[in-house]
Chain A
Amino acid sequence: MIRRFWAVLIGRNKEFLRDRGALGWNFLFPFFVVFGMAFAFSDKGQDVFKVGVVGDAAALPAGFAATRHLKFVTFDDTTSSLEKLRHHQLDILVQPGRPLKYWVNESSPKGYLVEKIMLGTDVMTSSPMRQAVEGRPIRYVDWLVAGLLSMNMMFSALFGVGYNLVRYRKNGVLKRLKATPLRAAEFLTAQVVSRLILIMSVFTIVYQGSDFFLHFQRRGSLFDLYLIFALGSACLISLGLLVAARVTSEELAGGVLNMLSWPMMFLSGVWFSLEGAPKALRLFAYSMPLTHLIDAARAVMTEGATLAQVSTHLWILAGMTVLFLVVGAWTFRWD
């Protein structure tokens, strides 16, 4: 049994490794996405200090407001602006008035500098009141990277396994294998493991490679992150197998896979958080495996969560994996 599984696994891996085009694309595409997004959302004008103003910017002391190389951004209240200050998206936050209140992030060097600059202007006439906040910088790319890598995994898992299996069925490869003592479970397990090896290799290279240049903030354990991504990709591969269990037409398989992947791409929190979205939408998002993968991975990266803290997501992913695999193997057809 192990020998048969092994034979199919080795064969599938060779097949993939020699398909240069597909291999190159699988490794290069995620790099393009991560770097493209990092570039698109990078902070432009790094030498400008960003000053958040709560209320009316015109009420700022005129000397301070006229300081060059300061960019003033206004906010209605302190809730979202303080969050931005904590994540270093603002260098200082000012509320005009008498006394003039300001908040500064003590772990931000730019915050330290802009405070010195501000106190050297006519702000002193407004008897400023200082309040300190703490927080490490989180760039959008730090928040985004878990979602981008998960989304790439989703496409690789669904289309790489699902589409390929349908192609195998259509061109008779599966029928040829059916004529041997190979069992469906052995064959399917080999497909899952082969794709899992590929996906985790791509993940390792892309994550470590882009981390080298972009220095992601990762507050939780790297091991935990790998474990979450491995479980998540196993779940998505199983979903691909389930779709391809009986389908004989590549067009139909493509349609179903698109129908699954597009909602996941937009609603599972890859690009934006669903906090504040309507409840029905959030419930729908929670039925998708990608949501649980991204939530768990993002919590580990940006909040330093432990496995225990994201265990709900992990159990749901594990349960879905088992369900998809069992139903997929049960309904599987060779021809």
Chain B
Amino acid sequence: MSVVLEARGLFKRYPKAAANAVDGLSLSVREGSCFGLLGPNGAGKTTTVEMLEGIMRPDAGEILYRGAPIGPSFREKTGIQFQDTALQDHLTVRELLDLFGDLYPQRLSTQELTELCDLGELLNREPEKLSGGQRQRALLALALVNDPDVVFLDEPTTGLDPQARRNFWDLARSIKARGKTIMLTTHYMEEAYALCDEVAIVDKGRIIAQGTPDSLLKKHFDGVVIELEGEEIMTNDVEASLDGLRKQGRSLAHLRVRPRTLEDLFLALTGRGLRE
């Protein structure tokens, strides 16, 4: 698969900041894939993604779309769902779709968007009167209104309940099935695991690990996690660990064994939890 979007050596520092928000970051996104940018708050995810979107200019480095530097026409190829967006007051979802649709040379019809994002009865309501999950669906429809090549989803499920989050994942999968490339930022590891073909873990403006979710886990540590009375024991040899616990005379009544997750990986790589 060819590379759709590529960043080379991006740097960004905000005025009066002590360190670079993005510090020499490079990545490439393959066509039709879902690329996940993971990291805690303040890691530089949103800054990185806003530079990739063309919303913010990097201090140094370049961004290529299909091999050429991005220019004004790049906006016609992208669809963006921002982390927090307000929309014009008092307009219904349908009117907002029409307004934004008219800003592009070509657009998907309201009917197509309704089917794609399961808008149904939401069309004649105002976004601020929708629930969190419904609102995210409406925002996703706005991001797709120009039938974009690359879709940016910036923490799309933050604050949603588990049910709404899973529904949103289904929508993201169906967008991918239409051949769109997705650039996802999230601090939910299970979200990255569920949706992404490739994941980059960002910390302090740099990528500290990159690969498929499985290969990252395999590369950085094999094995499982034993959870016992609030304690987490990472091990490659479950039998030996259990023997050791028994010898210490500990009760194994509430023991749980689970595979390691990206969350554990992040903790191991950065020494910090994701939501710190």
Contacts and interface: CB of A to CB of B under 8 A. Distances in A.
A180 B79 CA distance: 8
Contacts of B105: 181
A178 B98 CA distance: 17
A180 B75 contact: yes
A172 B154 CA distance: 14
Contact of B55 (A6, A12, A14, A178): A178
Given A171-B86, A176-B85, A181-B76, A11 B103 contact: no
A1 to B, nearest CB: 11
A182 interface: yes
A271 B261 CA distance: 73
A8 B100 CA distance: 9
Contacts of B256: none
B21 to A, nearest CB: 15
Contacts of B73: 181
Given A15-B89, A15-B91, A181 B99 contact: no
A12 B95 CA distance: 11
Contacts of A168: 86
Contact of B99 (A7, A19, A172): A7
A116 interface: no
A98 interface: no
A181 B77 CA distance: 10
A11 B76 contact: no
Nearest to B72: A181
Interface in B73-108: 73, 75-76, 78, 80, 82, 84-91, 95-96, 98-100, 102-105
Which among B76, B78, B95, B102 has the greatest number of chain A C-beta atoms within 10 A?
B102
B102 A173 contact: no
Q: Size class of A's contact patch?
A: 20 to 34
B53 interface: yes
B104 to A, nearest CB: 6
Contacts of A259: none
Contacts of B100: 7, 180
B103 A175 contact: no
Contacts of B90: 14-15, 18-19
A182 to B, nearest CB: 5
Interface in A1-51: 3-4, 6-8, 10-12, 14-15, 18-19
A179 interface: yes
A182 B98 CA distance: 14
Contact of B85 (A19, A175, A180): A175
B103 A182 contact: yes
A3 B102 contact: yes
Interface string B119-163: 000000000000000000000001000100000000000000000
Given A7-B99, A14-B95, A176 B87 contact: yes
A174 to B, nearest CB: 10
Contacts of B84: 172
Contacts of B55: 175, 178-179, 335
A168 B78 CA distance: 22
Given A175-B55, A179-B55, A14 B91 contact: yes
Given A172-B82, A178-B55, A179-B55, A15 B88 contact: yes
Interface in B45-87: 53, 55, 72-73, 75-76, 78, 80, 82, 84-87
Contact of A179 (B53, B89, B99): B53
A7 B53 CA distance: 23
Nearest to A4: B103
A48 B142 CA distance: 70
Contact of B103 (A7, A12, A14, A171): A7
Given A176-B82, A179-B75, A10 B99 contact: yes
A180 B86 CA distance: 15
Contacts of A176: 80, 82, 85-87, 142
A11 B86 contact: no
Contact of B102 (A6, A171, A172): A6
Contacts of A12: 88
A173 B73 CA distance: 21
A7 B105 CA distance: 13
Which among A8, A172, A177, A179 has the greatest number of chain B C-beta atoms within 10 A?
A179
B75 A181 contact: yes
17 contacts: A3-B102, A7-B100, A7-B103, A8-B103, A12-B88, A15-B90, A168-B86, A172-B82, A173-B88, A175-B55, A176-B86, A176-B87, A179-B53, A179-B55, A179-B78, A179-B82, A181-B73
List the 7 shortest-distance A-B pairs measured between CB atoms, nearest first. A7-B102, A171-B86, A18-B90, A180-B103, A11-B99, A179-B80, A172-B85
Given A18-B90, A173-B87, 19 more contacts: A4-B102, A6-B102, A7-B98, A7-B100, A8-B99, A10-B99, A11-B91, A12-B88, A15-B88, A15-B89, A15-B90, A18-B89, A19-B89, A19-B90, A175-B55, A177-B103, A180-B103, A181-B105, A335-B55
